Every structure is written in C-alpha cells, then in structure tokens.
Amino acid sequence: MPGWLLTVWAAVVAMVVVFTFLTIMVMFSVWMERKVAGFIQHRVGPMRAGGFHGWAQSIADSIKLLFKEDLILIGADRKLFQIAPALVMATATAMFVVLPFAPGWQVADADLGVFLILALASVTTIGVIMAGWGSYNKWSVYGAMREAAQVASYEIPLALSLIPPILHYGTFSLATATEAQAGWGGMQWYVFSSAAPVAWLSFPLFFIAALAENKRAPFDLPEAESELVAGFHTEYTGIRFSFFFLEEYAAMFVMGAVGAALWFGGWNFPGIHLLEPGSALLQVLALFAFVAKAMALVFVMMWVRWTVPRLRIDQVMTLGYKYLTPLSMAVVLIAAFWEFGLHLIQD
Amino acid sequence: MALPTPPREPARRHHYLGDILSTIHSTAKGMALTMRYLWRKPVTMDYPKEKPVIDQRYRGIHVLDQQLCIYCDLCAKACPVDCIEMDAVRHGKEIEWKAFTLDYQKCMFCELCVYPCPKDCFIQGTEYSMVSEDRNDFVHDLLTWKGLREEEPS
C-alpha cells in the first residue's frame, strides 16, 4: 500500500470513528438534557420511545429531522445559508481530533491542541454569524449580531483562563498534559496538584467562558427562544438544523473534555498505576474515565442552564469585559508567580 | 408645561468584589435549589398507563338507566344545544325504544339535561376519554337495547 493511500485510509477510519462517537454522544446528551430538565422541574422527560425512560427518543428525533423538508427562503443568501451549517459541523467534528480519550487513543496528538480547539471554536462563531446573516430574517440577524457582540467579550477570558494549566504543564498538547497528571496513583490532577489554588481560581473562569462559547444558557442570547424565535437558526429545517444541534452538544462535550483533560486528570483514574500500561483493561477504563469526566462537566452545563435565567446582552458584555477579562488576567499573573515560586522551591 | 421630575432614588453603589461575591452567592443558592429539586419525586402522571382519580361530581360521558327512563323528553328539551335525540313508541306501560343518541360534537357538558330528569335515570358519569378519527363516532348511542325488552328485568 503506498504511503499516501495509507494516510487517506487512516483519515477515513479516524473520521468514521470520530463521527460515530460524536453522533452517539450527542444523542445521549440530548436525551440526558431532556431528562435533567424534566427532573429539575418535577417532570420525567421523555418516557415512551424505546421503553426504558424513552432511551430511543433521540433516535426517533433524528430520523424525523432527516426526513423533514429542506427549506431555503427566496430572499436568503443561498451560499452563506448552505455553507454555514457545514462549516459549523466541520469545526465541531475537527475539535474531536485532538481530544485524548485514552493513552494513545487520539486521532492526532497536535502540539498545539488547546490552541487548535480555541481557534476552531472561534470559527464556529463565524458559522453562526453566516447563518444569521444569510437567513433573510430579522430575528436571525439579531441573533447573529448578538453572537458577534458576545464573541469578543468571552474569547479573551476563555483563552486566558486556559493559560494556568498550560503554564503548569509547559505544553499545549492535551495528551502530554494528561500524562503529567498520572502521578499519586492517578490522582495528581491539576485541581489536586501543587498548584491547586490557581486551578480552583481558573476553572470557574474557564467554565463560564466555555458556557458563553457554546452559546449555552445563561449566555444563549444568539438563539434566545423567548425573544428571537430561535435566533440564528430560525429558518433552518431538517438536516441543516440538526447540524446546528449536533454542533451545540459536540461543542459542549469538547469544552467538558478540555476541562477534564487540563483540570481533572483526563483519562487518569485512581489505581491506574496498578494496571499494566497498554493493556486492554486500562485502555477501556481510561476511555470510560475520560468520557465520564467530560459528561459530568456537560451535566453541570445542563444544570446551570435549567437554573440560571438568560442574561441581557449588556449584562453579558459587563460580565465579559468588566469581570471575566480582568479576573482571568489576574489569575494568569497569579499562576505565573505560583509556578515561579514552585520552581524556586524545587531547585 | 413640563411636569416636575420625581425625586430619584440614589443609584445603588456598586462594589466590584462585593458584586462578584453576591453573584457567586446567589448562583450557588439557585444551583443548590435545582440540585435538591432534581432528586424529588416527579409530580406528573404517566397518563395512559396511569389513570387519574376522577371525582364523582365530574361531568363526563352520560349514562342512561334505560329501565327507569319514561321517555318524557325533558332532558332533550332542557339541552341548550339540542344534542339529545330520542325516539320511542309507547305500548301501554311498556316503551319500545328506537333511539336515544347524544351528539358529543355539540355537547358542552353543562349538566342541564341531568337536573330536570324526574326519575334520576340520566346522569353524567366519570368517563372522560372519547377519541375517534370519525365524526360520526361522536354521536353516541346511549341505549343498551332497542325495541321492547326481550325478558322482564329482574
């Protein structure tokens, strides 16, 4: 087999694996979101489809979405309208490439993994703005403009709040950072490490900024159902709409996974040092630990969504510019001095 | 003439750290509340599998006690929307029933048909579910038998 064919083959396999995982994970997340929403409001959520607690509800929903008519308004900017969901979906899928699911189970160990995720997350925003602008709908334009206004206020805190763990581990690679947290029987996570106070300061900032990045409540102004119909995806139907839906939950998982990998030890779990490195059991348990940690953070995002009401746009800007940005800068400074102090002690 | 401006309340003073702390405090309070609610028992009912308890006074689908009915037509006369139709032939004391129908497309469940009944044979039951894809199914036949009784009631 020639070299280039091998590369293409590997890419196809990786694509299929990532896309399958993403689809199943998103279906599970949607079901989980509805269940969490239900239980918080003393309801039960979906109960019919599939038998046990409506586990097949998402499958039924996605089949329904696939069979829906694909509509494009006459006045819409067809090119923007058609490219936007594809762009959003492509970036959301591409973010999965650098996630370290288990030792060695990573599509590409990019040296700048964290940076790549930040960059792709920003491209998603462009897709949202394209969708809103191309829809020929005033609500969509409002949603897109809100997203554009919002993006600047949280991108900086998001990037800055990722610096403390990067400083601590001296790498942008998620896999390397995860391996560095394997000590103490798999419990030397960043939040328990020698830089724990900095970790606990930076994680809330990261989490809030990640909520805003994913357009999740209380920062879901671009889609704000009660004000803007459905914001930027008002005019989307069928599979194009499902792309935006997939993107939202995929991005949630990615942000949860980044949080898990940098702060909560990624695939490490207590007792990982007892297992033989590279054994099947370790790989599976590591995969389970990683996905469980990421899903736990996704659960917190859902919990926040069903607790906190949506902010006004000026409140989002105030939070972003006046509070998150200065605080994340302060945390970066504290982290820098902390790491410097750690070096002095160790040397 | 310009109206006098009402005296303004002094603007609330913002304290940077105080605002952050109060935000964290209130958010944490809310999150704790929803987390408590998450574990509570749902108040909803799994409807088709689990039926609600209906009070006896509920005005549901009508029930006719055909043994007692004397074909006085008072219920049909009382009905504001004329949804009750009945037809019978008297043979002395015996009544030969032809029809007694109630059109639930018109019926508004006002219970006015129940009050005038001299024999208290026409009441509204607790049955509430009536679903069909055909309009004609809502013209409900309340008779349990037609014509003359085949045997004496015991």
Consecutive 10-residue averages of pLDDT for chain A (347 residues): 84 86 89 90 84 85 87 86 89 87 80 87 88 88 87 88 88 85 78 82 90 86 82 85 88 90 85 77 87 92 90 87 90 90 82
pLDDT score of B153 more than 60: no
Q: What is the pLDDT of residue A185?
A: 73
Q: Which of B119 and B152 is assigned the larger pLDDT?
A: B119
- Largest Cα–Cα separation, chain A: 69
Q: What is the pLDDT of residue A190?
A: 82
Is A95 part of a structural domain of the chain?
yes
- Would you give the end-to-end CA distance of chain B in angstroms? 91
Is A53 part of a structural domain of the chain?
no
Is A59 part of a structural domain of the chain?
no
pLDDT score of B84 more than 80: yes
**Which residue has tokens 């029933």?**
B97
Is B112 part of a structural domain of the chain?
yes
Is B44 part of a structural domain of the chain?
no
Is A236 part of a structural domain of the chain?
yes
Q: What is the pLDDT of residue A300?
A: 92
Q: How many domains does chain B have?
A: 1
CATH number at residue B71: 3.30.70.3270
Which residues have CB under 8 Å from A346's CB, separation 6+? none
Q: What is the distance between the alpha carbons of residues B45 and A319, in angstroms, rounded to a whole number?
A: 41
- Chain B residues contacting A, CB < 8 Å? 20, 27, 30-31, 33-35, 37-44, 46
Cβ–Cβ gap B37/A39 under 8 Å: yes
Q: What is the pLDDT of residue A329?
A: 92
Span B2-15, average pLDDT = 75
**Which residue has tokens 């894809």?**
B133
Q: What is the pLDDT of residue A333?
A: 92
Token pair recorded at residue B115: 């009050």
- Structural domain span for residue A195: 3-40+68-346
Q: How many domains does chain A have?
A: 1
Span B144-151, average pLDDT = 71
Confidence of residue B154 (pLDDT cuts 50, 70, 90): low
For residue A340, the one-letter residue type is F
Contacts of A38 in chain B (CB under 8 A): 42
% of chain B residues with pLDDT over 70: 95
Is B47 part of a structural domain of the chain?
no
Cβ–Cβ gap B38/A39 under 8 Å: yes
Out of B37, B43, B44, closest to residue A40 by CB: B37
Is B91 part of a structural domain of the chain?
yes
Is A233 part of a structural domain of the chain?
yes
Span B70-98, average pLDDT = 86
Instruction: Find the DSSP H helices in chain A.
Output: 3-40, 57-66, 78-95, 113-134, 138-161, 163-169, 174-179, 183-186, 196-213, 225-228, 238-262, 280-305, 313-317, 325-346
Whether residue A310 contacts residue A221, with contact meaning beta carbons closer than 8 Å, is answered with yes
Confidence of residue B150 (pLDDT cuts 50, 70, 90): low
Out of A38, A303, A308, closest to residue B35 by CB: A303
Residue A200 at interface with chain B, using a CB cutoff of 8 Å: no
Is A277 part of a structural domain of the chain?
yes
Give residue A189's region: left, alpha or beta (phi > 0; psi -120 to 50). beta
Which strand ranges, in their side-by-side order, compose the sheet holding B139-141?
Answer: B84-91, B94-103, B139-141
Is A138 part of a structural domain of the chain?
yes
Is B1 part of a structural domain of the chain?
no
Q: What is the pLDDT of residue B29?
A: 92
pLDDT score of B151 more than 70: no
Angle, helices A113-134 vs A78-95, to 10°: value is 160
Is B27 part of a structural domain of the chain?
no
Is B71 part of a structural domain of the chain?
yes
Which residues have CB under 8 Å from A248's CB, separation 6+? A214, A215, A216
- Structural domain span for residue B115: 62-141
Token pair recorded at residue A191: 């939040």
Instruction: Find the DSSP H helices in B8-128.
Output: 16-38, 74-78
Is B45 part of a structural domain of the chain?
no
pLDDT score of B13 more than 80: no
Is A55 part of a structural domain of the chain?
no
